[in-house]
Amino acid sequence: MNINISAEEKSEEYVITMNGELDVYTAPELQKVLDPIRQDGTHHVRIDVTDVSYMDSTGLGIFVGTLKDLNQHDKELRVTGASNRILRLFEITGLRDLMHINESSEVE
């Protein structure tokens, strides 16, 4: 269970790219990357999950917490590159209606 995470600051957003599995064991690594961005509240956040092969409820919880923090600062969370499996997870939980989620890694 490994995950690699990179963060790139752009003018108005942070782009977080991950590959691997996002679960109870690896979620703290994503949390460490997102915490300062969430607290700062000056950037939108785009998380590219193109190369995420698995995500559990712990990962979803991080997305929800990030969304709440960003909404307080009128910033958006975008999830891009979602596979059918990950899209289904967002749909089942109702989160697809609350977040900007794209199957493509490109921003619309």
pLDDT digits (tens, 9 = 90+) for 28-48: 999 999 999 998 888 999 999
Total domains in the fold of the chain:
1
Whether residue 50 has pLDDT greater than 90: yes
Q: In whole angstroms, give the CA distance from residue 56 to residue 36.
A: 23
Looking up residue 52, the CATH number of its domain turns out to be 3.30.750.24
In a domain, 52, yes or no: yes
Give the domain extent around 83: 3-101
C-alpha to C-alpha distance for 87 and 39, rounded to whole angstroms:
27
pLDDT exceeds cutoff 70 at 106: no
Are 77 and 45 within 8 A, CB to CB?
A: yes
Judge contact between 40 and 71, C-beta under 8 A: no
Whether residue 107 lies inside any domain: the answer is: no
Q: What is the pLDDT of residue 107?
A: 56
